Amino acid sequence: MIVVMKTKANPADIQIVKNKILDMELEVYESIGLNYHLIGIVGDTSKVDVEVFTRIQSVEKVIQVQGPYKKASRLFHPENSIISVGNNTIGGNKLAIIAGPCSVESEQQIIEIAEKVKKAGAGFLRGGAFKPRTSPYSFQGLKERGLELLKYAREKSGLPIVVELMSTDKLDLYERDVDIIQIGARNMQNFDLLRAVGRTRKPILLKRGFSATIEEFLMAAEYIMAGGNENIILCERGIRTFENYTRNTLDLSAIPAIKKLSHLPIIVDPSHASGIWWMVEPLAKAAIAVGADGIMIEVHNDPTNALCDGSQSIKPEKFQHLMGCIRDIAKIQNREI
């Protein structure tokens, strides 16, 4: 439920609305823009009497919100959210370019890739330290050592780092050392983990689950926001369908759909969506064309011998070419890198 206040609403009336919501043991969610002032009511509003608010002079109208997600809804927050990451941002006019290897393998590898993707125009470095793998026998990452190497790469390149968090017991470590905490597709509905990152204020990159609907995806974001953390970046990375030529099926329609439903920024991961290196470039270009706020690309200096997901990784030279193409598309969209 949303209480829409009139332009130049009386401050006393605004406070009365808030007090009434709190008296009902519900939560206040306030959104103020240039030409609007919204007071969202979060919680079980099924028994709320609308007339309690419409009788207040400065209230213009009350809107019933049908969707199960509230704080993630564009009705609650009409303007696009822009997430700050140090001196960088995700959302708004500037596209976020995140690049790096699936997994950190050595100091030389991560430093070389970090320097090359930065030179090509990337604004963030991704890399896996603790790797969730389908097989228990596959390479599981360098763990704490991998995180230390990512920190060193950040120091050398100046790029903020994006690292996947798999369990709550490492959250304190990630809060201290990581710039953007990634919640992977396998953990999109790990509600204990979502609640835990909701208590931090670190930016969270939330990937869509393998078979998650758009509503389920936004509800996962709502779990984090309900804990107080509104610094969320959504990531479309393909969903599981009957097609098995590609690793997943990239749902490009989710980008404009989520843009309509939510104010949260959304980026696209064409590497995991396709699982095929030569598909990464066309899918990345398509993602920018349909309005994504950025892309996340797996880049490796030696994909053939990569310890993880080499088949979907592109070389730094290919990434540099891709960046040139994206710049051209960004200009058409009145956006920049």
Q: pLDDT tens, 218-277?
A: 999 999 999 999 999 999 999 999 999 999 999 999 999 999 999 999 999 999 999 999
Is residue 128 a contact partner of residue 163, using CB atoms and an 8 Å limit?
Answer: yes
Quick one: how far is CA 143 from the chain centroid? 23
Q: Which helix (H) or strand (E) holds 195?
A: helix 191-198
Is residue 215 a contact partner of residue 197, using CB atoms and an 8 Å limit?
Answer: no
Q: Which fold has domain 2-63?
A: Alpha-Beta Plaits (3.30.70)
Please indicate whether residue 212 or residue 75 has the higher confidence score (pLDDT): 212
Q: Where in the chain is the domain with CATH 3.20.20.70?
A: 83-332
Q: What is the CATH number of domain 83-332?
A: 3.20.20.70
Q: Within a 13 Å sphere around the CA of 132, how many CA atoms are in the beta-carbon half? A: 11
Q: What is the pLDDT of residue 137?
A: 63
Q: What is the pLDDT of residue 8?
A: 87
Is residue 258 a contact partner of residue 264, using CB atoms and an 8 Å limit?
Answer: yes
Q: pLDDT tens, 139-177?
A: 667 888 999 999 999 999 999 999 999 999 999 999 999
Quick one: how far is CA 80 from the chain centroid? 13
Q: pLDDT tens, 264-321?
A: 999 999 999 999 999 999 999 999 999 999 999 999 999 998 888 889 999 999 999 9
Q: Where in the chain is the domain with CATH 3.30.70.1140?
A: 2-63
Q: What is the pLDDT of residue 166?
A: 92
Q: What is the pLDDT of residue 337?
A: 87
